[in-house]
Amino acid sequence: MRKLKLQVQTTIDGFIAGPQGEMDWMVFDWSDDLKDYVTRLTDPIETILLGRTLAEGFIPHWAGVAADPQNPEHAAGKKFTETPKVVFTRTLKASPWERTALAQGDLTEEVNRLKQPPGGDLITYGGSRFASALIKARLIDDLHLFVNPVVLGRGLPIFQEVATQQAYHLANARTFDCGIIVLHYQPKSIAL
């Protein structure tokens, strides 16, 4: 069965955005060691899962980056644009984006169906409600928290939907030259 990975930027106090969705607190000037880590994390990915709200910004942004060979993130833009995507939505009736299917059924059933075929892993990047719903449903196999060196005090929490205790195993912790720390967790039920 394919794994579902979550890669998400977070603050020290566990927010993935400010109260109004602000992301101006993130470290955008990533060091080469972090860029290499992300490349190794995303290379084996064959499908990207997104909530509708994040998809509306994510897909057009990376399409624009992919269309500009002079953009320093051109290779990442091509990867994100060419990788098939599944957008989880209850409002869209048809996908406005290329290489993007819609999932409108039960979250757990849809994700488990996507994990079944052989092949490379799946990844998601959030937003807050979608990522939290995936965590609550225990659908994430690898949780990669990119902890930025900032405290917001309030904002959109990554674990807002989680109502019961979940135990995790720390698979890896790594510091990067730009100040970000990546904490890689796996649910104890699957960690060895």
Angle made by CA atoms 17, 51, 59, in degrees to the nearest 5: 90
Residues paired with 10 in a beta bridge? 147
pLDDT at site 190: 56
Q: Which pair of structure tokens corresponds to residue 35?
A: 């860029």
Residue 175 phi/psi, 5° resolution?
-95, 150
Quick check: 144 pLDDT over 50?
A: yes
User: For residue 29, what are the contacts with CB-CB under 8 A and spacing of at least 6?
Assistant: 178
| CATH level 3 topology of 4-187 | Dihydrofolate Reductase, subunit A (3.40.430)
Angle made by CA atoms 98, 104, 106, in degrees to the nearest 5: 140
The domain locations on the chain are: 4-187
3-state secondary structure the chain: CCCEEEEEEECCCCEEECCCCCCCCCCCCCCHHHHHHHHHHHCCEEEEEEEHHHHHHHHHHHHHHHCCCCCCCHHHHHHHHHCCEEEECCCCCCCCCCCEEEECCCHHHHHHHHHCCCCCEEEECCCHHHHHHHHHCCCCCEEEEEECCCCCCCCEECCCCCCCCCCEEEEEEEECCCCCEEEEEEECCCCC
Quick check: 119 pLDDT over 60?
A: yes
Alpha-carbon dihedral angle through residues 145, 21, 160, 62, given to the nearest 10 degrees: -50
Q: Which pair of structure tokens corresponds to residue 52?
A: 């509708």
pLDDT at site 49: 98
Question: For the residues 95-118, what does the mean pLDDT come to?
Answer: 95
Quick check: 192 pLDDT over 70?
A: no
pLDDT per position as a tens digit, 42-93: 999 999 999 999 999 999 999 999 999 999 999 999 999 999 999 999 999 9
The greatest distance separating any two alpha carbons of the chain, rounded to the nearest whole angstrom, comes to 47
